[in-house]
């Protein structure tokens, strides 16, 4: 359960998260400015405020599962699932899960990739909150939505710490509720 409600509004949290995120130029390739969320993880109170805020925003959704997208999504999804008192489901790169899986391929800015989830991770009608660190082009999140649907669930909402709005990822998730803390 949530240990305490966030002590301030979203505006103060957004300000503090924005001030903590580190820009890494030319990563993973020249011309890209990577928004590094790892400094948030080194600040325990800020990290707790972020996960509390995500959980508070999701409380009214009555989700049965939180799905975390590999790999930084796991870091935020696990405490959110605990705070909500619901199951955690990892969505992983191919070959990382030990049981039978459903697989979804998707396009990247620079090629293709795939994601997998255990086929029995969700039951029919499961209500899911999908959590990841960054919404960029939306391909990974959209592939995760398709995995959830193939496993019998429905995505109640998406939650991201950062939304890179200039990459138009929300278009890939049209019709879905999307919560973010910081937008660039």
Q: Which of 72, 92, 104, 116 is catalytic?
A: 72
Q: Domain of residue 148: give its range.
A: 61-183
Q: How many domains does the chain have?
A: 1
* 133-173 tens-digit pLDDT: 999 999 999 999 999 999 999 999 999 999 999 999 999 99
Catalytic: 72?
A: yes
Is residue 46 in a domain? Answer: no
The answer to the question of residue 4 being in a domain is no
Clarify whether 100 is annotated catalytic. Answer: no
In a domain, 50, yes or no: no
Among 8, 105, 109, 183, the one annotated catalytic: 109
pLDDT tens digits along 4-60: 445 568 999 999 999 999 999 999 999 999 999 999 999 999 999 999 999 999 999
Contact 142, 173 (CB under 8 A): yes
pTM to 2 decimal places: 0.93
Chain segment 83-140, per-residue pLDDT in tens: 999 999 999 999 999 999 999 999 876 778 999 999 999 999 999 999 999 999 999 9
Residue 21 DSSP one-character state: P
Whether 71 is covered by a domain: the verdict is yes
Question: Which CATH number do you get for residue 158?
Answer: 3.40.50.2020
| C-alpha span between 107 and 92 (Å, rounded) | 16
């Amino acid at each position: 359960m949530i240990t305490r409600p966030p002590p301030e509004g979203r505006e103060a949290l957004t300000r503090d998260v924005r001030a903590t995120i580190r820009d890494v130029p030319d990563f993973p390739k020249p011309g890209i400015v990577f928004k590094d969320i790892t400094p948030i993880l080194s600040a325990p109170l800020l990290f707790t405020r972020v996960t509390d805020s995500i959980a508070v925003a999701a409380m009214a959704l009555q989700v049965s599962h939180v799905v975390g997208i590999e790999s930084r999504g796991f870091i935020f999804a696990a405490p959110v699932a605990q705070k909500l008192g619901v199951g955690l489901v990892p969505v992983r790169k191919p070959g990382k899960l030990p049981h039978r899986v459903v697989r979804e391929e998707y396009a990247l800015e620079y090629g293709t990739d795939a994601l997998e989830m255990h086929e029995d991770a969700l039951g029919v009608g499961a209500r899911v909150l999908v959590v990841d660190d960054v919404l960029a082009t939306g391909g990974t999140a959209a592939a995760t939505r398709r995995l959830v649907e193939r496993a019998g669930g429905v995505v109640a909402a998406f939650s991201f710490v950062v939304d890179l709005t200039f990459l138009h990822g929300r278009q890939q998730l049209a019709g879905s509720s999307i919560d973010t803390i910081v937008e660039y």
